């Protein structure tokens, strides 16, 4: 099974960025953990990060026909990007939305998630361990469906 994990803007600054909200784990450390958790769940895992909306759309499109599942943290684009929502709907690959923080308890402008509308499940507020949960949720979905 092939898994694509997509991280949006500023997540490359994990460990530096607002550690009270996002923790002290660095982005390279997160990537290592995701690859380990993915392998344990039986996935061949690619982890992609970009600060650019169009690049995220291109990456989602490139997964068409090649990837079994997507885990996506669109970061700030969660709350603004119809283009990312449309890309996820276009490829129609089972997708899980993940947020490190609990966006439901944050500012009003974070209360809408466009990408989440194309995802069958959302994980939030579990810190970086949420990626582990998301991998497990996706594994269960893919092994049930096949
Ligand atoms: C985030 C939450 C978003 O609101 C924010 O813009 C981010 C990170 C999270 O993982 O908690 O960049 O997606």
Q: How many CA atoms lie within 13 A of 3 on its CB side?
A: 27
Q: CA–CA distance from 84 to each of 5, 17, 20, 35, 37 (Å)?
A: 14, 23, 28, 24, 25
Pick the residue whose CA is nearest to atom 13 on ligand 1. 75
> Tens digit of pLDDT for each residue in 65-122?
999 999 999 999 999 999 999 999 999 999 999 999 999 999 999 999 999 999 999 9
Pick the residue whose CA is nearest to atom 9 on ligand 1. 99
- Given a contact cutoff of 8 angstroms between Cβ atoms, the answer to whether 118 and 71 are in contact is no
Active site residues: 22, 99
What is the average pLDDT across 10-18?
97
Q: Closest Cα to residue 30, out of 11, 10, 44? A: 11
Rounded Cα distance, 96 and 121, in Å: 5
- Does residue 135 surpass a pLDDT of 70? yes
Residues with CB under 6 A from ligand 1: 10, 73, 75-76, 78, 99-101, 103, 110
Q: CA–CA distance from 41 to each of 60, 90, 137 (Å)?
A: 22, 26, 10
**pLDDT band, residue 56 (cuts 50/70/90):** very high
> How many angstroms separate the alpha carbon of residue 40 from the centre of ligand 1?
26
- Given a contact cutoff of 8 angstroms between Cβ atoms, the answer to whether 118 and 85 are in contact is yes
This prediction has a pTM of 0.97
What is the average pLDDT across 134-143?
97
> How many angstroms separate the alpha carbon of residue 114 from the centre of ligand 1?
13
């Amino acid at each position: 099974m092939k898994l694509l994990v997509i991280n949006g803007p500023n997540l490359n600054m994990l460990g530096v960025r607002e550690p009270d909200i996002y923790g002290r784990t660095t982005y390279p450390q997160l990537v290592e953990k995701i690859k380990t958790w993915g392998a344990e769940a039986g996935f061949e895992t690619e982890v992609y990060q970009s600060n650019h909306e169009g690049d995220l759309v291109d990456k989602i499109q490139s997964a068409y026909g090649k990837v079994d599942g997507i885990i996506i943290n669109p970061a700030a684009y969660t709350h603004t990007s119809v283009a990312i929502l449309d890309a996820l709907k276009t490829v129609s690959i089972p997708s899980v939305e993940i947020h490190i923080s609990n966006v439901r308890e944050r500012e009003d402008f974070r209360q809408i998630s466009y990408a989440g509308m194309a995802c069958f499940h959302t994980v939030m507020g579990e810190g970086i361990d949420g990626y582990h949960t998301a991998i497990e949720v996706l594994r269960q979905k893919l092994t049930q469906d096949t």
